Amino acid sequence: MPVISKLEEIRLIQFRCFESLVFRPVAGCNLIVGPNAQGKTSLLEAICVLLRLQSPRTNMLGTMIRHGQTGFGLEGFCCGYHLQVRQETGHRTFQLDSIEQKFAREYLSVARVAWFANSDGELIRGGGGMRRRYLDFLGTQTDPDYLPYLRAYERAWKSRNLLLKGGASRNEVHAFDEPLAIAGEALAARRLSLVCELTPLFLQAASEISGSDEVLSLHYEPGFQTDLRKELLENETEERRLRYTVVGIHRDELRLSLDGGRPVAVFASEGQQRTIVLALKLAQARLLATRTGCAPILLMDDIFGELDVGRRERLLSHLPSEAQKIITTTSIEGIFGDISHASCFRIEQGQFTEN
């Protein structure tokens, strides 16, 4: 496995606003500069889809097809491998070194990605699903069994909910208890392990970015107590009333608190919330490197505009120096620190120019 994940080239065809685009980033720091609504975020999204077969913005790949087209294509080279993704309406295929893959495990082992975005404030302000997605994005990149367990759980959970909604018999509903419990308990153990490893990295990153030693805590709260099989049976009456599964990892929560256990979403200032979100993402990048031995590609979408000068400079100085960085911004003046070594690309009306 390479020590650094490095994207050499990506080609976009009929993806979002792009009819066609080729981007060849350098190994170090890449700045993509341009006005809003020119496709900067879509380019980073395309990189993530090519490397991870998923978008950090949506679960529906079909929504990325350019208006009026029937599909999109992504192709590129990363860490010496040739990667290809095709999405037609309702159907996705992907190839590794021109060989179509039936399973994603080998394809996903090529590269690791950490995503930073201006919209990451939803990790604090949004529902628990945002924080579970954060853990899953990390888990699927560091544990080859994580994604199969996650997909198995989702299949059992959705099937069980459909049966409950339709008023199916007791035996039909409980037929899915065992697969739900096997996958759910395996995932709960993995999420707990992730949070235990993340916590010291998160606290360190928060201190580095803020320049102070605020008392913060990160706590994993599973959506069941100890025995998921038993709790599914115990909640049968409530499930029949509500017509959905009421216990399980789909109700997991990642609790973020200030000193004294005060919820960050309620008691943290706007500046503190920005620091906490960036610390979560920086901790994610560091844990990816620690667990895999490979520095991830850092995709950073317009995150500097709302940071004060001190936080901007401290964040830049504490990013993994060896990692490939692809950073979007509306103005190069919005980024501080030493960026003299960075390659700068300008994008406007779907076209690149390199400074």
Residue 218 β-bridge partners: 256
For residue 4, the 8-state DSSP code is: B
Q: Residue 16: left if φ>0, alpha if ψ -120 to 50, beta else—which one?
A: left
Statement: the pTM of the whole predicted model exceeds 0.85: yes
Distance CA 99, CA 77 (A): 14
Q: Which residue has the higher pLDDT, 101 or 4?
A: 101
CB 44, CB 299: distance < 8 Å: yes
Starting at the edge strand found earlier in the chain, the sheet holding 99-100 runs 18-23, 7-15, 71-78, 81-88, 91-96, 99-100
Query: Is residue 282 exposed (0-12), middle (13-18) or buried (19+ Cβ within 10 Å)?
Result: buried
CA angle 272–278–281, rounded 5-degree value:
145
pLDDT per residue as tens digits for the range 54-85:
998 888 888 999 999 999 999 999 999 999 99
- Identify the pLDDT of residue 108: 95
Supply 159's token pair. 């099937």
CB 325, CB 7: distance < 8 Å: no
* Mean pLDDT across 136-163: 97
pLDDT per residue as tens digits for the range 273-303:
999 999 999 999 999 999 999 899 999 999 8
H or E element that contains 269 = none
270-292 and 309-318 are packed helices; what angle lies between their axes, rounded to 10 degrees? 0
Whole-angstrom CA distances from 267 to 119, 122, 211, 257 are 20, 15, 19, 9
Q: What is the residue-averaged pLDDT of the chain?
A: 92
Query: Helix or strand or coil: residue 142?
Result: helix
